[in-house]
Structure 1
Amino acid sequence: MNSRKWVRLFLTTLFLGGMSTVIIGFVLEWDKYNEFFQNFDGKEILAVSFWLMGVGFIFSVISQMG
């Protein structure tokens, strides 16, 4: 297995961790984020999505470290 495949595996896992955290984060905390979707406050939805994605990236990197 060469380094290109290792990097692709790392980035794919990182992306999956970030996206799954965004989806699961909105589902689990729906009571808190419901008003953003009802009013369609795109700025807040995007801010919360980036925050949750960052948390997912952090946990993905920690889990890949071993």
Structure 2
Amino acid sequence: MPVILISHNMPHVFEVADRIHIQRLGRRGGLITPQSHTMSEAVAIMTGATTLEETPGRTVASDGGGA
């Protein structure tokens, strides 16, 4: 059953999510998984400190759609 959770509580998000869709300034900043990225990396993408492309060696979850 799909569930959408909108939250800034990163420990909770990482505990319950299979995929994390990160928004940055109204656009998709990235689509990651708790297994492929750390909470710090997710927050860095949210805040603009880094982009998904700047996280070397990390894989990105595919949602099957375009950005």
The TM-score, its normalising length taken from structure 1, stands at: 0.22
Structure with greater Cα Rg: 1
Question: TM-score, with normalisation over the residues of structure 2?
Answer: 0.22
Higher RCO (CA 8 Å, separation ≥ 6 residues):
1
* Greater per-residue strand proportion: 2
